[in-house]
Amino acid sequence: MESVKRLKLESSRLILEPISMDYAEVIFQEFTAEITQFMHPKPAESINETMQFIRDAMRHQKMAPISPLLS
């Protein structure tokens, strides 16, 4: 069975998959002040900040326990 942490869910209108460095440029460009108005953290000021955010998110994914309902 594929690891739940690497699971990719697709529909005709949506793709859900774990964050990766493949998306650094898109995240940096699209997470503007308008989009993140009610979110934390505020938009990155550089691509390096975005890359650090992704590294942190990936580290948290590795440490997160898998739900007993999914194992």
CA separation for the pair 2, 22 (Å, rounded): 20
Determine the residue type at 2: E
Q: Per-residue pLDDT for 1 more than 50?
A: no
Kindly report, residue by residue over 11-26, the tens digit of the pLDDT. Answer: 999 999 888 999 999 9
**CA 63 from centre of chain:** 15
Give start and end residues of each alpha helix (H) in 1-71.
24-30, 47-63
Q: Could you state, in order of their start, the residue ranges of all structural domains in the chain?
A: 4-63
CA atoms within 13 A on the CB side of 59: 6
R_g (Cα) of the chain, nearest Å: 14
By three-state DSSP, how is residue 40 classified?
coil
Task: Evaluate if pTM is beyond 0.85.
Answer: no
